[in-house]
A and B are shown apart, each in its own frame.
Chain A
Amino acid sequence: MAGAKEIRTKIASVKSTQKITKAMEMVAASKMRKTQDRMRAARPYAAMMRHVIAHVGHANPEYPHPFLVPREIKRVGLIVVSTDRGLCGGLNANLFREVIRRLKDFDQQGKEVHLGLYGAKASGFFSRTGGRVLGQAIHLGDSPKLMDLIGVWKVMAEAFMAGSIDAIAVASNRFVNSMTQKPAIEQLVPIDPEKDKALSHHWDYIYEPDAREVLDQLLNRYVESLLYQLVVENIACEMAARMVAMKSASDNAGKLIGELQLIYNKARQAAITQELAEIVGGAAAV
């Protein structure tokens, strides 16, 4: 009966672990639903903006905003959007692998890379690997406000406007469905001029005070909203990945408990058999 107590303790500990992973799974599932809603809620704004920008850009070719003019790319800005917490499967590792592959490409082309980081995981990763980090924001929480994201973006945008970087891209996870998330790197600025021939109508806006100021504000807000959307999407990915990871952890715990239970029963049975044999043996000896 020596092993029985240890096995019982082990079963109890696995059970409590299972309770935790089960709870985390359910929390992640409900948060995922909320973040997905938030992701969807952010879409009309960006869609509306894209439409207006395409129009204004089309109607006012005489004012080339720096965000709209492609340049020769010598130095690149890369914003990496990661999660603050772990326990979400290979989500961050997959993203970082993609980022490192891209960084290597840039390195081979002789392009310098400046980083902007969101999330504690990216911050930790790049503090170990090295890299030129211009700005970072960590502990954004599950429902970041646009204001929380502006710092890092502005640092990058200032560098872009000053000409010390020539393009800014964002690396983040894209939400395919709750089982699949895909890392992707998307260029933020210069904005790809939308080749929309349908826009050659004859009307134009009345601008107040002038097209330049409107366009200026519009483009900044547009890029910020895109960035916001990517960050929110990354959080939805985080929750989905955590849900799946925690589900399989709970399943594994269940299997483990089953196995341990079997071992425990066998040990108990062996002990009983042995005791019986001893009694019978003792009786026979008398």
Chain B
Amino acid sequence: MADTIQVGIVSAEKEIFSGHAAMVFAPAKLGEVGIAPGHSPFITPLGPGEVRVKHGDGHEEAFYVSGGILEVQPGMVTVLSDTAVRAEDLDEAAVLKAKEDAERQFHDHEARVDYAIAQAQLAETVAQLQTIQRLRRRAGRG
């Protein structure tokens, strides 16, 4: 137990790696850190770089992360990796795009929800669905 450490590398979109290792190296914001089995609980943001997992036989596996968070508990290392390159300006661009998209379509747009229209819209869809169901029932009998 003391000579290996459980490693999990996950991103919001998928699990990247899971297994045991002798040592893990990660690109922490303040410089690369190496985590050996029995390390004290530790948490830090990661910068872009390689997370290297060193197996018991000395063989190394590397995973590129663009950023994320490293969490260490005794006997367990978790890398919560970002899936996309996160930079303030990129995020800013995404925000602008979402806003512009909305503004283009909802320009001169009533700010209050018109419940009468909403009800009418919903009623129309529901009526369509009911018609389909009725047709189906009738076909089933016939």
Contact = CB atoms under 8 A, between A and B. Distances in A.
B109 A130 contact: yes
B69 A44 contact: no
Q: How large is the interface on A (under 10, 10 to 19, 20 to 34, 35 or more residues)?
A: 35 or more
A151 B97 contact: yes
Given A131-B111, A228-B12, A209 B30 contact: yes
A208 B136 contact: no
B103 to A, nearest CB: 9
B101 A137 contact: yes
B94 A147 contact: yes
B45 A213 contact: yes
Interface string B104-137: 0110011111110111011001100100100110
Nearest to B45: A217
Interface string A46-83: 10110010001000000000000000000000000000
Interface string A198-226: 00000111111100011001100100110
B111 A208 contact: no
A80 B129 CA distance: 22
Contacts of A126: 106, 113
Interface stretch (A7-15, A22-30, A90-98, A183-191): A90-98
**Which of B68, B110, B118 gathers the greatest number of chain A CB atoms within 10 Å?**
B118
B62 interface: no
Contact of A45 (B11, B41, B95): B11
Contact of A48 (B41, B80, B140): B80
A221 B102 contact: no
A154 interface: yes
A171 interface: no
Given A151-B94, A208-B30, A203 B102 contact: no
A136 B102 contact: yes
Contacts of B118: 96, 100, 125, 129
A139 B33 CA distance: 41
A49 B8 CA distance: 13
A132 interface: yes
A127 B105 contact: yes
Contact of A38 (B13, B71, B129, B136): B13
Interface stretch (A162-170, A172-180, A251-259, A268-276): A251-259
The 7 closest A-B pairs by CB, nearest first: A151-B98, A130-B110, A135-B98, A151-B94, A208-B44, A147-B84, A93-B125
